[in-house]
Structure 1
Amino acid sequence: MNRLTFFLLAALIFCALSLVSAQHQARTLFVAMERAQSEEKQLDVDWSRLQYQQSALGKSARIADAARTQLRMAPVMAGRTQYLSGIALPQAAPAPVAAAGASAPAGEERP
């Protein structure tokens, strides 16, 4: 009977320590999950803010204003435009000839 009592006491202590360890691990995982959810919410807020900023920066009025103020650009005026002469662009190659078996255009006969 003495051995059985010692064995049951050892099993009880082992189960108690196992329960405490499992509860500690559960609490640790819960805290980590809460932190991850908080970080997810913050990233969603940052994403929304960045999308708003991107749409605001892409507006043409803002781009035109930045071009005038920061880059000191001016709209194109016919009097200030300079045209270059003497530059010859290469001619495009002629279109390839249609294959011999292709059908002739409407109104033409085949030889």
Structure 2
Amino acid sequence: MNRLTFFLLAALILCALSLVSAQHQARTLFVALERGLAEEKQLDIDWSRLQYQQSALGKSARIADTARAQLKMAPVNPGKTQYLSGIVLPPPAEAAPASAAEARR
């Protein structure tokens, strides 16, 4: 009976250590999960903020104000516009098949 008692005591101690180890691992994983969820929430807030900033920066009035203030740009003045001459553009692609069909007749 002495051996059986010693064996049962050793099994009980091993089970207790296994239980403590499992609880510690579960708590560690829960803390990691909570950190991940908090990081996800923060990233979602940052994403929303960046989307708002992108929409605000993309407005044409804001772009025009920045162009005038920082880049010293001015609206187009027809009197200062220069036109290039001597450039011949090929006919549009749609007109070419129609003229080829007329040439066959």
Same-fold status (TM-score > 0.5): yes
Q: For the pair shown, which has the larger CA radius of gyration, 1 or 2?
A: 1
| Percentage of identical aligned residues | 80
Report what 2:54 is aligned to: 54
Runs of 4+ in 1 over 4 A off after TM superposition: none
Deviation at 1:89, TM superposition (A): 2.0
Q: Aligned partners of 2:42 and 2:89: how far apart in 1?
A: 56
What per-residue deviation string (whole Å, max 9, x for no partner) do you get for residues 77-102 of structure 1?
111111122222234462154xxxxx
Q: Aligned partners of 1:5 and 1:65: how far apart in 2?
A: 87
Report what 2:13 is aligned to: 13
Report what 2:84 is aligned to: 84
Structure 2-normalised TM-score?
0.85
Structure 1-normalised TM-score?
0.80
Residue 5 of structure 1 aligns to a residue whose secondary structure is helix
Change (3 A) 1:92 1:44: closer
Report the RMSD for the aligned CA atoms in angstroms: 1.4
Matched residues, number: 97
Higher helix share: 2
Unaligned runs of 5+ in 2: none
Amino acid at match of 1:35: R
Report what 1:35 is aligned to: 35
Q: Aligned partners of 1:47 and 1:65: how far apart in 2?
A: 26
Deviation at 1:68, TM superposition (A): 1.0
Change (3 A) 1:92 1:50: closer
